[in-house]
């Protein structure tokens, strides 16, 4: 006969597993808010390399405190090689991300991160052996299909014109590159978490990324270093983006530890819909209706994943 303790443990475990969805929503909100505030800083003609560096710099005290609080787990042998492979990919993705935010409208760049879940249908299978249900796969594809509608007004010039319009948008091309890189770094991140612990990884990984970015950022932004402080300086402009970026990191690794990597990234892509709204209200970006149609498709894909994908 199964004991009451076992039933109690199973119930608690079920509640913890369900938490992946609200935690991922918090991650999405933090990401979209950080992106919007970062774009505001970049719109003030701040250097994108230095902006990315300062955003990580302001996170350092919290990350170091987290590492001091969290016990060092027993690291699996695969941890260090996984980190070493992931860091250069993450660094390239970070640079392209900030260039995308600087070059193009928010509502035409961040939605292309929806391509990452599609790629995650393949990459986790190859690296981690994870599988995705049929309905989960349909939901992920539906999310990616929404990106097509971002240039829906170009459809009158031909069925392929929305894709051609995308290729003419430099920021969109940068973000597509980010989506490809993220399909690998997200999977490698999940592997690194399983080889260590979520909070240890959340504290250590951004610090290592900061160290890798430092020489490049200080060289590329050397002419702006003297303008870091002051009322209009980069430190002040990047303070809130850093805070929300920290939230994105912490909520992200916790969610990754609770669910399938593809489903977590797919739900996190609700930040794309939030980014479209931010773009309209903060930057007066046009075409919000057609971009919300794409966002609606993404939401439909998320609902399909949450209800049928597990």
In this prediction the pTM is 0.81
Residue stretches of the chain with pLDDT short of 50: 1-2, 5-10, 12-13
Please tell me the predicted confidence (pLDDT) of residue 210.
96
* Rounded Cα distance, 223 and 231, in Å: 18
- List the domain boundaries for the chain: 44-308
- pLDDT tens column, 254-282: 887 787 776 787 788 788 889 888 988 88
d(CA 249, CA 200): 12
For residue 272, CA distances in Å to 41, 91, 183, 237, 250 come to: 19, 21, 16, 22, 19
pLDDT at position 208: 97
Q: What sign does the dihedral 118-120-125-131 (CA atoms) show?
A: negative
CA distance 294 to 310: 24
CA dihedral sign of residues 213, 181, 144, 127: negative
């Amino acid at each position: 006969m199964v004991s009451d303790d076992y039933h109690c443990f199973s119930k608690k475990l079920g509640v913890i597993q369900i938490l992946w969805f609200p935690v991922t929503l918090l991650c999405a909100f933090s990401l979209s808010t950080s992106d919007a505030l970062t774009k505001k800083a970049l719109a003030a003609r701040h250097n994108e390399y230095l902006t990315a560096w300062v955003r990580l710099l302001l996170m350092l005290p919290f990350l170091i405190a987290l590492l001091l609080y969290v016990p060092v787990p027993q690291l699996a042998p695969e941890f260090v090689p996984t980190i070493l492979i992931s860091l250069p990919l993450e660094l390239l993705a970070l640079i392209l991300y900030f260039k995308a935010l600087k070059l193009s409208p928010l509502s035409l760049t961040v939605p292309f991160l929806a391509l990452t879940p599609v790629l995650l249908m393949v990459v986790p299978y190859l690296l981690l052996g994870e599988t995705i249900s049929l309905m989960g796969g349909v939901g992920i594809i539906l999310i990616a299909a929404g990106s097509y509608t971002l240039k829906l007004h170009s459809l009158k010039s031909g069925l392929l014109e929305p894709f051609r319009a995308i290729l003419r948008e430099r920021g969109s091309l940068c973000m597509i590159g980010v989506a490809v890189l993220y399909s690998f770094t997200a999977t490698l991140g999940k592997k690194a978490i399983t080889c260590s612990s979520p909070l240890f990884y959340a504290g250590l990984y951004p610090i290592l990324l900061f160290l890798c970015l430092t020489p490049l950022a200080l060289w590329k932004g050397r002419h702006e270093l003297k303008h870091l402080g002051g009322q209009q300086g980069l430190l002040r402009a990047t303070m809130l983006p850093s805070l929300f970026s920290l939230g994105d990191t912490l909520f992200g690794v916790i969610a990754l530890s609770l669910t399938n990597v593809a489903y977590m990234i797919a739900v996190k892509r609700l930040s794309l819909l939030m980014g479209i709204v931010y773009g309209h209200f903060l930057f007066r970006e046009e075409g919000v209706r057609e971009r919300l149609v794409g966002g609606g498709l993404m939401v439909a894909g998320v609902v399909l994943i949450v209800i049928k994908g597990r």
